[in-house]
Chains A and B, each alone.
Chain A
Amino acid sequence: MPEPLLEVEDLSVSYLTDSADIRAVDKVNLSVHAGEFLGIVGESGCGKSTLLFAIAQLLSPPAEITSGRVVFRGQDLVQLSDSELRHVRWRDYSVVMQSAMNALNPMKSIGAQFKDTMRAHEQASADAIRSRPAEVLRLVGIDEAHLDSSPHQLSGGMRQRAMIAMALLFTPQLVIMDEPTSALDVVAQRSLMTQIKELQQQFGFAVMFVTHDMSVIAHYSDRVMVMYAGQVAEIGETSSIFERPLHPYSKGLLDAFPSVRGPRRPLTGIPGSPPDLGRPPSGCRFHPRCSEVMAQCVTTEPDLYLVEATQVRCLLYAAHREAASA
């Protein structure tokens, strides 16, 4: 098995405020191999966006990485200075934000912003700066003429594609995406996902895709990681997670989706609410909401256990051996 492209080891992120330290990400381990599509799924407050930002080194105070490493192509990104990061950012990995309107400058044309981005990361020849923006727009199916458009002149779907185009300016090896489809309609969403997959197959980059909606990535990801209360609840091959979810939370999440096709059945959802990360429950963080809770779940914090190829943080599987980290 070749070395993973990205390896996150024991990463913890806290929000340091006057009144409390809130640990939004708690000792998360994950790895992404070249060309792989990893989906990170969780609901609000689970820490997935914080995790994403931490990996991309985009955290701002009061959020801080308090421990762990983010090893990307052999380098620990956490230890790099800003100027060293600049060489890696956008060339080797790039980020697609949740809302294009938040990330794009409404006053400038798309083409100008692409050029700015290229210039900011140096080592781009004048020729490249001239031709590359049009190339990437074509890749995502947008007419070159839109290089002169400003963001609000494009529809929501086109804006998101433009964001993806921007992320591909230097053909990075890893593209990190934070819920890029959540503001899109179902048809536009499908179209965008298909596009992402095609590009991935064409250029071979890896994708880390954060979403609250499991169904979006169901047909596109290779592996899925389910997060709960700042921890990894379950991580494994997509088919395993969807066909045989092990963690009661994953099961509950899958069952919470009403289906359009197939028989109608009662929906239960998951009772209760995600915990306050400033005061997480004792033992297993999911135990207050778990339908399969056992006595020891209240007192013992479960480790990640390895069940065939899936890692799951649940005492139901304590008999299996602990997964080696990463």
Chain B
Amino acid sequence: MSRSATTVGEDGAALLRTVGLTRHFRLGGLLSRRMLHAVDDLDLVINEREIVALVGESGSGKTTVARLLAMIYPPTRGEIYYHERSVHSLRSRKDVLWYRGEVPMVFQDPYSAMNPVFRVAHGVMRNLKLHRPELDRAQRREEAERVFDIVGLNPAGDMLRKFPYEMSGGQRQRVGFAQALAVRPKLILADEPVSMLDVSIRAGILNMMASLRADEGASILYITHDIASARYVADRIIVMYAGHAVEQGPTEVVLSRPKHPYTQLLLSAVPDPREKAVPVSADSGEPPRVISPGEGCRFRQRCPYAIDKCATITPALRPMGPAHDAACHVAVADPVDGDGQSVDGIAVAARDSHVE
């Protein structure tokens, strides 16, 4: 079996899982045959009280995954199961609202994600009206103040009355999370929530995300291109490349023993000022646009280890270790006795990774 059983939560049922999730976009006119393969055959699992990072660069498909999970558009193929109910078969407004009330989304651009005409309380209040109809007006007001307090926007009463232009980027992003919290979410889809913020402010938001998991019991799907911040908050990492999941597993395991050559490349390229030297590579960093591809591994043109098989057979995710999978024909799984051996040809800087 290509999927490790231990990726599913202890009680056996995942919060959300996708099976063969695929999304293609037609390029050119109505009759064109050219399809952009944004996401192909993604099997992803998110458990309760878990932060999963979906890491990938531009063109990897991570944003498309977010939009598929948010029901912004339907998948071309495949299924999304939330609490074992198929999401895209939800038809009635009641069912759709139920899902949206459990799986809200936080957007990337704090300046674009709020309607400039309304006060920042608008989104929170609408969420409360739509998804928690049992509350009366006074209770809604209280709830709005409560979520603003949780995300650190104090004093809540004053903050709720502000307009977006009166707030900074970091504050607006907190409003985004407050909106998500207002519905008592089970799973928050966070699409690059800190990419557009100054570095010194990111820590605050990342710490807040971790506390949301601990205190509010929400799971978070953290979508990002920054693998370092993924390491900081996420329990598990899924690395995407050109629409495929190429590696997944517990964060520290994937980062310390990356099996897929792309993961290794990515890790080596992340600049770390505390390091002495930069590992060099001939790779110039051109991710592919996947238009009507055939079979075969999509990384093969950039891969230093590619063999003939890579051009003809698309590698599937296979176990490399406990709960750790990679989709690569040449990757070598960890031997059972625990002594790691990995495909390691790039001069990756010495890894002193021990978990604190």
Contact = CB atoms under 8 A, between A and B. Distances in A.
B273 A254 contact: yes
B19 interface: no
B71 interface: no
B284 A157 contact: yes
A219 B277 contact: yes
Given A191-B283, A219-B271, A44 B203 contact: no
A155 B289 CA distance: 10
A265 B356 contact: yes
A269 B353 contact: no
B352 A242 contact: no
Given A187-B283, A261-B352, A43 B200 contact: yes
Range, interface on chain B: 35 or more
A258 interface: yes
A257 B272 CA distance: 8
Contacts of A17: none
Nearest to A264: B356
Nearest to A156: B58
Given A187-B266, A188-B285, A263 B271 contact: no
A187 B265 contact: yes
Contacts of A260: 227-228, 231, 255, 267, 270, 272
A185 B273 contact: no
A186 B265 CA distance: 10
A43 B225 contact: no
B31 interface: no
A258 B231 contact: yes
B106 to A, nearest CB: 19
Interface stretch (A119-127, A210-218, A310-318): A210-218
A242 B232 CA distance: 21
Nearest to A213: B199
A219 B272 CA distance: 9
Contact of B203 (A212, A261, A268): A268
A218 B284 contact: no
Contacts of A44: 198
Contact of A43 (B198, B266, B278): B198
Interface residues of A, number: 44
A194 B285 CA distance: 12
A233 B225 CA distance: 30
B272 A212 contact: no
A74 to B, nearest CB: 35
Given A213-B199, A257-B199, A273-B170, A267 B207 contact: yes
Contacts of B266: 186-187
Most chain A CB inside 10 Å of its own CB: which residue of B232, B273, B275: B273
B93 interface: no
A269 B200 contact: yes
Contacts of B270: 186, 260
A325 to B, nearest CB: 28
A47 B111 CA distance: 21
A264 B273 CA distance: 15
B269 interface: yes
Contacts of B277: 219
Interface in B146-168: 168
Contacts, number: 141
Nearest to B286: A155
A16 to B, nearest CB: 22
Contacts of B284: 141, 157, 187-188, 191
A211 to B, nearest CB: 11
A253 B200 contact: yes
Contacts of A187: 57, 265-266, 269, 281, 283-285
Interface string A184-209: 11111111001000000000000000
Interface string A214-242: 11101100000000000000000000001
B206 interface: yes
Given A187-B266, A190-B285, A194-B280, A262 B200 contact: no
Nearest to A184: B285
Contact of A219 (B201, B267, B278): B278
A141 B200 CA distance: 35
Interface string B234-278: 000000000000000000100100000000011101111111011
A1 B232 CA distance: 45
Contacts of A257: 199, 228, 272-273
A270 interface: yes
B329 interface: no
A261 B353 contact: yes
Contact of B273 (A156, A194, A214, A267): A214
Contacts of B314: none
A185 B57 contact: yes
Contacts of A270: 200-201
Contact of B272 (A262, A263, A271): A262
A256 interface: yes
A252 interface: yes
A215 B273 CA distance: 5
Interface of B: 57-58, 168, 170, 198-204, 206-207, 225, 227-229, 231-232, 252, 255, 265-267, 269-275, 277-278, 280-281, 283-287, 349-356
Given A43-B198, A269-B204, 11 more contacts: A184-B285, A187-B265, A190-B281, A215-B273, A257-B228, A258-B228, A259-B231, A260-B255, A260-B267, A268-B203, A269-B200
Which 7 interchain pairs have the tightest Cβ spacing? A188-B285, A269-B203, A187-B285, A218-B273, A267-B203, A270-B200, A185-B57
27 contacts: A43-B198, A43-B199, A43-B200, A157-B285, A186-B57, A186-B269, A186-B285, A187-B269, A187-B285, A194-B280, A218-B272, A218-B273, A219-B277, A242-B273, A256-B200, A256-B202, A257-B228, A259-B272, A260-B270, A261-B275, A261-B349, A263-B353, A263-B355, A263-B356, A264-B355, A267-B232, A269-B201
Interface of A: 43-44, 141, 155-158, 184-191, 194, 212-216, 218-219, 242, 252-254, 256-271, 273
